[in-house]
Amino acid sequence: MSSVLRIALQKSGRLSEDSYQLFKECGIRFDYGTGKLKSVSSNFPAEFLFLRDDDIPGYVEDGVADLGIVGENVAVETGRPVETIHKLGFSKCRLSIAVPRGTDWVGIHSLNGKNIATSYPNLLGNYLAGQGVQANIHEISGSVEIAPSIGLAEAVCDIVSSGSTLLSNGLKEVETIFRSEAILIARPKLNADKQELVDKLLFRIKSVQAAKN
């Protein structure tokens, strides 16, 4: 039986459009946006799975998918043992700490003993531990930026790109803890047939990127 690469992409969100575009530019055709969970390419031995981004590292680790595209922030936060095989240069953002605009900020130690709301407890916890800061991390899954205004936390740690969401919630960015972009992740130890397909795909991706620079 000939091998087919299974590739997990975000179903709909900030990674989706550029992920679909990347494969299109690589000359790999498949249907997306049809509401289906799966689509087989008509001209490359690949099958695409459309999932929530947070689930992608786990599916790649478990071998449900061979490859996936996620933000580095999600790959690191989930801590799954997958390989980063290429950086893709889109969905660039940063994970930053922000506090209400009127807060006195004299550096990261201002967070000692404070409550911080975030969807990235591991990334934040590691960063604070590295800085010797002891704070209480409250994990929430969405709308992190409203936490200070409802009295849940004195600070947030959230994804920022332009900073306009922070601004409109009366917050100021005080510390960047992680910089992220979309990455291609792979299951370690793919068999030789699949590895050959991955190499083919990577060659095309690099050519597309080179043509843009």
Residue 159 is a binding residue for ligand ATP (CB under 6 A): yes
**Encoded amino acid at 190, one letter:** L
Contact between 110 and ligand ATP per CB under 6 A: no
Q: How crowded is residue 4: how many other Cβ atoms within 10 Å of its Cβ?
A: 16
For residues 106 and 101, give the distance between their C-alpha atoms in angstroms, rounded to a whole number: 13
By CB under 6 A, is residue 13 in contact with ligand ATP? yes
Among 180, 185, 190, 205, binds ligand ATP (CB under 6 A): 180
Q: How far is the CB of 133 from ligand ATP (least distance, A)?
A: 24
What x/- string results for residues 40 through 79 when contact with ligand ATP is judged by CB under 6 A? ------------xxx----------------x-xx-----
Q: How far is the CB of 74 from Zn ion (least distance, A)?
A: 7
> Cβ 193 to Zn ion, closest distance in Å?
31
Enter the tokens of residue 62: 């478990």
> What is the rounded radius of gyration, in angstroms, for the C-alpha atoms of the chain?
19
CA dihedral 87, 96, 53, 84 (to 10 degrees): 30
* Closest separation in Å from C-beta 71 to ligand ATP: 2
**The entry of Zn ion, ligand ATP, none that residue 15 binds, CB within 5 to 8 Å by partner kind:** ligand ATP
Positions of E strands within the chain? 5-10, 38-40, 46-51, 67-71, 83-87, 93-100, 115-118, 136-139, 155-160, 171-180, 182-186
Q: How far is the CB of 202 from ligand ATP (least distance, A)?
A: 21
Residues 43 to 102: which contact Zn ion by CB under 5 A?
53-54
CA distance 210 to 213: 5
The C-alpha atoms of residue 166 and residue 187 are separated, in whole angstroms, by: 36
* Residue 19 interacting with ligand ATP (CB under 6 A): no
Residues binding Zn ion (CB under 5 A): 53-54
Residues binding ligand ATP (CB under 6 A): 10, 13-15, 52-54, 71, 73-74, 91-93, 159, 161, 180
